[in-house]
Amino acid sequence: MKKKMVYFDYAATTPLDPRVFAAMKPHFAEGFGNPANLYGLGRDARYAIADATKKIEAALGCRASEFVFTGSATESDNIALQGIARANKDAGDTIIVSNVEHKGILAVTQALAKEGFTIVELPVGTDGLVRPEDLERVLNERIVLVSITSADSETGSLQPIAELGAVIKAFRDAHQRSTPYFHTDASQAALYQDLQVDSLGVDLMTLSAHKLHGPKGVGGLYVRRGVKIVPIIFGGGQQGRLRSGTENVPGIVGFGEAMAIAQAERERESARIAKLRDKLEQGIFARIPKVVLNGHPTRRLPNFLNVSILDIEGEAMLLYLDESGILVNTGSACNSESLEPSYVLMALGRPYEFIHGSIRFTLGKGTTEADIDYVLRELPGIVKILRRVSPLELSMDHNAVTAQPKAFIGGQTPHFLRKKK
């Protein structure tokens, strides 16, 4: 008999919407033309890309020439950060990011630091948010780029992007400069948030199709007209020479269709999912003692719930839930191969012991009330089992937590906290 599966990891990836797949199908076989070719088959492919681009334009409020399709959000982030940094060396050598950026951003800044760029990491508060006044305090004429992710991929906390954009614009106007430019990775937020680039005040925006019930392997980057940027991939000069390579026509078509569906259903789905998320949150806090919410309590995506359940270890809880067919995550999907404590939760001031009991539920289009009820039936029993064998006895006051759990006495690290080899 097939095991019941309840999916609560929509932040990691989303299932392909059947309507998106239907739009893509013709371009895998009969509509296989190269959009660079002038004959009919190539023109058809080019028209398909143009149609998909119009759907992106509508969502972002941008021009077709201001959007390039890439292979992923990671590639888009690389183009944005590397392309801006190298193109504007004459204007400055400093890039500002937050200390809770996705590794797709932080890995790029680490590489740019080796090229001689100065990286400034703005700290967030215990709610996970960057304060506009903190950004205003550090802005100077050496800064060429500010990059702040719209929604954190572990807690769902929503950064004040429009307010940060206003701070940057005021600085540029006061100093009569075109820099610093403002980039945001909106991949996680795109299903539920307004993406109009002018109202947000951003110059560059990263998106990803597979976070929108679109296909994997296709992302995009908005680049405002007039922004000084250079490519990191060279070749045939497609897409305004910013991203060479034959376009992924089925993927682009799927991206456009997924974006159009997301925009049409955004308000209705946001309200439905927020109601389910709140029921899950309230149910967990009512049924399980010693639970701490991670991230901002209200300023977060409607589908995110990240909690620390004290006195147990998150990976053990994940595996028990998996046995019950409940699929969750203990943090960002890109960190799932590591037992190192989440740098995002550490930035929020969470103790090491709290972090190892963290678990992230992210809801989505397929989530039902029956799914919530199932989790609330299964999770309390799993927590009881794990607490019964746990060596930990933590205080809810994280300031009172000792530096190491009891199991470290005698120098022996408990097996569930040992780093994988």
pLDDT, tens digit, 9 for 90 and up, residues 203-256: 999 999 999 999 999 999 999 999 999 999 999 989 988 999 999 999 999 999
Instruction: State the Cα–Cα distance between residues 91 and 102, nearest whole angstrom.
Output: 26
Cα-trace Rg, the chain: 23
Instruction: State the Cα–Cα distance between residues 256 and 18, nearest whole angstrom.
Output: 14
3 state DSSP class of 144: strand
Q: Which of 185, 244, 236, 230 is CA-nearest to residue 211?
A: 185
Do residues 6 and 203 lie in contact, with contact meaning Cβ atoms separated by under 8 Å? no
pTM of the model: 0.90
Task: Give the CA count within 13 Å in the CB-facing half-sphere of 172.
Answer: 20
Mean pLDDT to the nearest integer, 185-199: 97
3 state DSSP class of 377: helix
Instruction: State the Cα–Cα distance between residues 155 and 151, nearest whole angstrom.
Output: 8
Do residues 256 and 55 lie in contact, with contact meaning Cβ atoms separated by under 8 Å? yes
Helix spans in 201-339 (H):
249-287, 314-323
Q: If you search the block for the tokens 């630091």, which residue do you land on? A: 113
CA 133 to chain centroid: 24
Residue from 87, 233, 334, 385 carrying the catalytic annotation = 334
Q: Is the pLDDT of residue 407 over 50?
A: no
Q: If pLDDT is split at 50, 70 and 90, which confidence band does 337 have?
A: low
Q: Per-residue pLDDT tens for 375-388?
A: 999 999 999 999 99
Tell me what pLDDT residue 398 has.
Answer: 57
Helix then strand then coil, % of the chain, to nearest 5: 45, 15, 40
Tell me what pLDDT residue 192 has.
Answer: 96
Q: Per-residue pLDDT tens for 68-101?
A: 999 999 999 999 999 999 999 999 999 999 999 9
3 state DSSP class of 95: strand
Mean pLDDT to the nearest integer, 321-334: 80
Do residues 317 and 359 lie in contact, with contact meaning Cβ atoms separated by under 8 Å? yes
3 state DSSP class of 379: helix
Instruction: State the Cα–Cα distance between residues 212 and 356, nearest whole angstrom.
Output: 29
Instruction: State the Cα–Cα distance between residues 247 and 233, nearest whole angstrom.
Output: 13
62 is catalytic: no
